[in-house]
A = this chain, B = another copy of it.
Amino acid sequence: MVRPAGFEAAISDAVDAGARAIVAITSGLGERDQAGRALQQGAVDRVRAAGAVMVGPNCLGIADTSTELDLTWDDFGPGPVGLISQSGNLGLELAQLAHEAGVGFSRFVSLGNQADLDAAECIESLIEHEPTRVIALYVEDFGDGRALASIAESAARLGKPVILLTVGSSAASVRTAYSHTAALVSDSIAVDAACRASGVFRVETPQQMIDLVQMLLMAHPPRGRRVAVVGDGGGSVALAADRLTAHGLLVEPFGARLTSDLERILPPTASTGNPVDVAGGGEEDVFNFERIIRLIAESGEADATLLTGFFGGYSEQSDAFRGLELRVGEAMVQAVERAGRPLVVQTVYPRSATTIDLRRRGVPVYGDIDAAVRSLGRVVERLANPPFGIPASIAPQTQRPAIAAEDYFGIRRLLGGAGLPFIEARPAESMDAVIAAAEALGYPVVLKALGGTHKSDAGGVRLGLADAASLGGAFTEMRDRLHPPLFSVERMASIARGVELLIGVKRDRSFGPIALVGIGGLYAEVFRDLAVALAPVTREQASRLIESLRGAQLLLGRRGRPRLDLEAAAEALSALSRLASAMPEVSEVEINPLLVLETGAVALDARMARIAG
Once the chains bind, are A245 and B172 in contact (CB under 8 Å)? yes
- Among the listed B32, B280, B553, which residue makes an inter-chain contact with A269, where contact means beta carbons less than 8 Å apart? B32
Q: Which of A135-186 contact B (CB under 8 A)?
A: 138, 140, 165, 167-173, 175-177, 179-181
Interface string of A85-125 (1 = CB under 8 A from B): 11111101100110000000000000000000000000000
Which residues of A (264-282) have their CB < 8 Å from a CB of B? 268-269, 271, 273-275, 277, 279-280
* Contact assessment for B525 and A28 in the assembled complex, using a CB-CB cutoff below 8 Å: no
- Asked whether A238 and B168 contact (CB < 8 A) given A90-B233, A175-B253, A527-B550, the answer is yes
Q: Type the 1/0 row for A215-236, where 1 means its CB is closer than 8 Å to any CB of B.
A: 0000000000000010011111
Which residue, A97, A177, A274, A454, has most C-beta atoms of chain B within 10 A?
Answer: A177
- A271 close to B526 (CB less than 8 A): no
Checking B89, B180, B204 against A243 with a beta-carbon cut-off of 8 angstroms, the contacting residue is B204
Instruction: Let me know if B370 and A205 touch, CB within 8 A.
Output: yes
Contact partners of A253 in chain B: CB under 8 A: 172, 175
**Given A205-B369, A456-B559, A526-B553, also A31-B239 (CB < 8 A):** no
Q: Does A439 contact B (CB under 8 A)?
A: no
CA distance A523 to B93 in the complex (A): 43
Give min CB distance, A109 to chain B, whole Å: 15
Decide yes or no whether A457 CB sits under 8 A from chain B. yes
At the interface, yes or no: A577 with Cβ under 8 Å from chain B?
Answer: no
> Chain B residues near A241 (CB, 8 Å)?
167, 170, 172-173, 176
Q: How far apart are the CA atoms of A176 and B369 in the complex, in Å?
A: 17
The docked-state distance in angstroms from the alpha carbon of A269 to that of B176 is: 11
**Across-interface contacts of A411 in B (CB, < 8 A):** none
Contact A238-B560, Cβ < 8 Å, known A89-B309, A204-B243, A245-B169: no
User: How many chain-A residues does the 8 Å CB contact rule pick out?
Assistant: 95
- Which of A173, A180, A523 has most B Cβ within 10 Å? A173
Bound Cα distance from A367 to B458, whole angstroms: 48
In the complex this chain forms, how many copies of it are found?
2
Question: A609 contacts the other chain (Cβ, under 8 Å)?
Answer: no
Q: Are A140 and B238 touching (Cβ within 8 A)?
A: yes
Q: Is A495 an interface residue (CB 8 A)?
A: yes
Complex Cα spacing A538 to B27, Å: 62
Contacts of A232 in B (CB 8 A): 89
* Residues of the B chain whose Cβ atoms lie less than 8 Å from the Cβ of A274: 172
> Known: A89-B235, A456-B560. Is A170-B245 also a contact (CB below 8 A)?
yes
Give A72 to B156 CA distance when docked, in angstroms. 50
Is B96 a contact of A242 with CB atoms below 8 Å?
A: no
A176 contacts across to B, CB distance below 8 A = 234, 237-238, 241, 271, 275, 277
Cα distance, A1 to B553, chains bound together (Å): 58
Please give the distance in Å from A497's CB to the nearest CB on chain B: 9
- Docked-complex contact A233 and B348, CB < 8 angstroms: no
Check if A536 is an interface residue, CB within 8 A of chain B.
no
Question: What CA separation (Å) do A275 and B175 show in the bound complex?
Answer: 8
**Could you say which residues of chain B place their CB within 8 Å of the CB of A187?**
none
Taking CB atoms, residues of chain B closer than 8 Å to A440 are none
CB distance from A441 to the nearest CB of B (A): 19
**Complex Cα gap A300–B99 (Å):** 39
Instruction: Kindly report which residue of chain B lies nearest to residue A271, judged by CB atoms.
Output: B179
| Among B169, B208, B369, contact of A206 (Cβ-Cβ < 8 Å) | B369
18 extra interface residue pairs, beta carbon distance < 8 Å, beyond A171-B251, A172-B242: A27-B280, A31-B269, A32-B268, A32-B269, A93-B236, A96-B348, A167-B242, A168-B238, A172-B244, A173-B251, A175-B271, A179-B234, A179-B273, A181-B234, A204-B243, A205-B368, A206-B369, A525-B559
Residue ranges of A at the interface with B (Cβ–Cβ < 8 Å): 27-28, 31-32, 85-90, 92-93, 96-97, 138, 140, 165, 167-173, 175-177, 179-181, 204-208, 229, 232-239, 241-246, 251-253, 268-269, 271, 273-275, 277, 279-280, 309-310, 348-349, 367-370, 454, 456-461, 463-464, 495-496, 499, 522-523, 525-527, 529, 550-551, 553-554, 559-561
